[in-house]
Amino acid sequence: MEKLSDPQMTIQILQKYDFCFRKRFGQNFLIDGHVLDRIIEGAGVTKDDMVLEIGPGIGTLTQYLAEAAGRVISVEIDKNLLPILDETLDGYGNVKIINADIMSLDLDELIRREAQTGAQGGGTAGGFEHVKVVANLPYYITTPIIMMLLEQRLPIDNITVMVQKEVAMRMKAGPGTKDYGALSLAVQYYAEPYLAANVPRNCFMPRPNVDSAVIRLTKYKEPPVRVRDEKLLFALIHASFEQRRKTLVNGINNSSRLGFTKEQAAGALAAAGLQPTVRGEALTLEEFARLSDILSVV
């Protein structure tokens, strides 16, 4: 079948199956071959890789992945897309479609099982050692999916996703910038972000209301900082950005996630070498880790 990156092919296949876009699934299909090439390049997909794709849609990106990777496992929540995928991916023997909600799957078990399965054109007798996640994510559920993939510490090398441009900028932002926040620190604790491409809204069908970006998150084997209590670190980070205009002392004191007094917060800041008027947006991940360790023994 011809590539679905040709808009006319996309229109024809959608009309053939009388497909209606479902807003609750956030369906916006890519129709730009250049962007699809950038995604494959950004993810660094090779025949030695197994790729987990989230939300294949009608199979536009899946076709490119199947040609670049050794094996592709695509998880699609919308059962109405299954007959379309059967047609658009016919002839790609290294693709497996799973009809399920990605948030409800045991991904560790799925990845380990499927990576051990031999595939046409890639892998070794023992399966695939390198697993990558590639996805054009629905914007309404972008952050929960990404944090799930990171927090579960799955056996994957990197995550390359199409997201709302604003979200991509927040993921890669550094201290003192307007985009810097809890998401920046959470992502950067688990992975190194790299902005692979900016994507204008006219590259999709239907056209979304915002511009997008492709971001690659290369997972760390070990977090860049070590902390005594990981849960406390993230509770501290969230408390610091719940009320951005407040000082960090007041943010810690007012947080329902934490149980520290204003005096304890001020003492911890002093012990960490931080000014009493500092705001969370000024702290690096390393400084949050040091402050967390001090508070863990208060």
Mean pLDDT by 10 residues, the chain (298 residues): 72 80 69 92 96 94 96 94 94 95 96 78 64 91 95 96 96 96 97 96 86 97 96 95 88 91 96 95 97 95
Q: Is residue 104 part of a domain?
A: yes
Tell whether 63 and 153 lie within a shared domain. Answer: yes
Q: Is residue 207 part of a domain?
A: yes
Q: What is the pLDDT of residue 25?
A: 62
Total-model pTM? 0.91
Q: With contact defined as beta carbons under 8 Å apart, do 76 and 128 qualify?
A: no
Final residue before a domain boundary, out of 196, 219, 242: 219
Q: What is the pLDDT of residue 31?
A: 80
Q: What is the pLDDT of residue 21?
A: 66
Tell whether 167 and 234 lie within a shared domain. Answer: no
Q: Is residue 122 part of a domain?
A: yes
CATH of the domain at 290: 1.10.8.100
The domain total for the chain is: 2
Final residue before a domain boundary, out of 186, 219, 252: 219
Tell whether 236 and 194 lie within a shared domain. Answer: no
Q: What is the pLDDT of residue 121?
A: 44
Tell whether 39 and 182 lie within a shared domain. Answer: yes
Q: What is the pLDDT of residue 119?
A: 47
Structural domain including 291 reads: 230-295
Nearest to 145 by CA among 51, 233, 66, 53: 53
Taking the C-alpha atoms of residue 278 and residue 140, their distance in angstroms, rounded to an integer, is 33
Q: What is the pLDDT of residue 26?
A: 64
Q: What is the pLDDT of residue 24?
A: 60
